[in-house]
Amino acid sequence: MELRPGYAVESIINAIVPGFEMRPLDCTASRDLWGSVQKSLAVPVTWSHDVHRLFPRSMCLMDRRRSLIIYLLALMALLSAGIVAERFYVFDEIDKMHGVFANRIVTYLMKGVVFEHHLLRGKNGRLPSTSLAAYVFGGTQESLSYKWKTVGRLYAEGTVRKILILHRPGITEYSPVLGRNLTNDEWATGKLKEEGVPVEAVEIVSVPLDTFETFAEARGISALARSRRAKRLVLVSSMHHTKRVWISFSHFNMDNAFESYTYGSEERAGIFELLMENLKLWLYRYIVFPLDRNPHLGKALNHKFAMDWYPVPLG
């Protein structure tokens, strides 16, 4: 079977736009391509542009190489528009095909950022008798809501007895009972109480945050665990954040002063967020940690770590 140039591109586009046939780009092909895109993405007719204006007669004589570039650009536009469109349009048969494709990308990206390490039960099926503490990593209110549910389940199972949460300055939603806005810490303890965790089991801790927040939290909480001679520490974060949490704590616990366990919440992440998490994981491994270990490049381990040369907080 002979595969002509652009066969792979045509196959991918055809999976999204059924019946599409790749041929040298001329004015007719331009109109057909736009019509297929318009139909598959449900673009309103009022958005249509005169294809003849986009493809004048002089451009209809492109060679194959330039034609292939145009098709590649069209493919990228299709995929990008499809990701955006799925948020606003109800799935039809074509949308379902695109959803399967997107789910495969999510599954692939998740493999590189997830690392769960759960506490093992003994032969009698019971957990260790030592009272365990859990630290819940910070995040947005939506993200924290998933983590509270995970913590509530661990508390109900008896996995943890003490919950450490990050102090977050500022206020949040209005409380009719109090007649004022709740502080972020009050909101957090209230949500944990709804999940079955009593207020007396919650401790709010402050951690000096830097550009790399997960790194700073790992440093501060590791120091706290050492000072309290903790033997075990449960770490609760978003599922797609667990690997970065694990390697960050491993960086500050090279002598195994305490055992750490990671649990991920049921929060779901999109393709863009997973791409960013993979990038952050790479930065931690090859930039943040080496700088922290090297006294000539980074600050000493027990000092505040700050990378002022990097202007964007990566968290």
- Whether 301 and 222 have beta carbons less than 8 Å apart is answered as no
Domains annotated on the chain, with CATH: 7-110 (no CATH), 133-293 (3.40.50)
Dist. CA 50–CA 53, nearest whole Å: 6
- The DSSP line for 149-190 is HHHHHHHHHTS-SEEEEE---SEEEEETTTTEEEEHHHHHHH
Q: What residue type is 27 in one-letter code?
A: C
The two tokens of residue 43 are: 């673009």
Dist. CA 24–CA 6, nearest whole Å: 10
Claim: this prediction has a pTM higher than 0.85: no
Cβ contacts of residue 291 below 8 Å, gap of 6+?
297, 298, 307
Dist. CA 292–CA 200, nearest whole Å: 36
Helix 64-85 / helix 27-40 crossing angle, nearest 10 deg? 10
- Whether 299 and 261 have beta carbons less than 8 Å apart is answered as no
Dist. CA 233–CA 244, nearest whole Å: 16
Reading the chain (315 residues) residue by residue, the pLDDT tens digits are 444 444 444 554 554 445 545 454 445 555 555 555 455 545 455 444 444 444 444 444 445 555 566 656 766 665 665 555 555 444 454 556 566 778 888 888 999 999 999 988 766 666 665 568 999 998 889 999 999 999 999 999 888 999 999 998 888 888 888 889 999 999 999 999 999 999 999 999 998 877 789 999 999 999 999 999 988 999 999 999 999 999 999 999 988 899 999 999 999 999 999 999 999 999 999 999 998 887 665 444 444 433 332 233 333
Q: What residue type is 287 in one-letter code?
A: I
Measured distance between the N- and C-terminal CA atoms of the chain, rounded to whole angstroms = 51
Query: Across the beta sheet with 162-166, what order do the strands follow?
Result: 202-205, 162-166, 133-136, 232-237, 259-264
